[in-house]
């Protein structure tokens, strides 16, 4: 799947702290927080889609990344949003042709513009979510240190 990956040196440091805790529950919470933080970007991408069939919108997906480092992705599943090529007859993921243009048809960006419009909200969600997981006492008013 092609798409947008959230990467940042501060995010790596926070992920290393979670990994350092050796707490599977904290790592799962961190991964879920990353997935949830991408929802504003997904919503912005969906608002930009003008689809006849609805397959492009159904193909927009957010999920946890692979590997041991907590991560998340926003992408278009090419197995959902496909159509047969007029030239070859083979299926191709047409949202890429819409995003970047094809032949004499100009680009109609919906994915990158949606991601860019939600970038600051996603970043704020990740920062707040990471702080709440890594430093729970400091993220609560009147919290106690134990």
Predicted local confidence at residue 23, as pLDDT: 62
**What residues does each domain of the chain span?**
3-134
* Interatomic CA distance for residues 89 and 123, integer angstroms: 42
Q: What are the per-10-residue average pLDDT scores of the chain (146 residues)?
A: 51 64 69 94 94 86 84 89 86 87 89 95 91 65 43
Strand partners for 60 = 76
């Amino acid at each position: 799947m092609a798409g947008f990956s959230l990467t940042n040196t501060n995010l790596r440091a926070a992920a290393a702290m979670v990994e350092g805790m050796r707490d599977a529950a904290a790592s799962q919470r961190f991964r879920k927080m990353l997935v949830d933080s991408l929802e504003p970007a997904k919503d912005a991408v969906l608002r930009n889609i003008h689809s006849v069939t609805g397959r492009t919108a159904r193909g927009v997906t957010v999920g946890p990344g692979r590997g041991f480092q907590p991560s998340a992705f926003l992408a278009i599943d090419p197995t959902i949003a496909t159509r047969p090529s007029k030239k070859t007859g083979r299926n191709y993921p047409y949202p890429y042709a819409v995003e970047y243009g094809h032949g004499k048809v100009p680009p109609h960006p919906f994915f990158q513009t949606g991601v860019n419009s939600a970038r600051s909200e996603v970043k704020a969600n990740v920062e707040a979510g990471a702080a709440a997981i890594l430093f729970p006492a400091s993220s609560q008013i009147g919290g106690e240190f134990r």
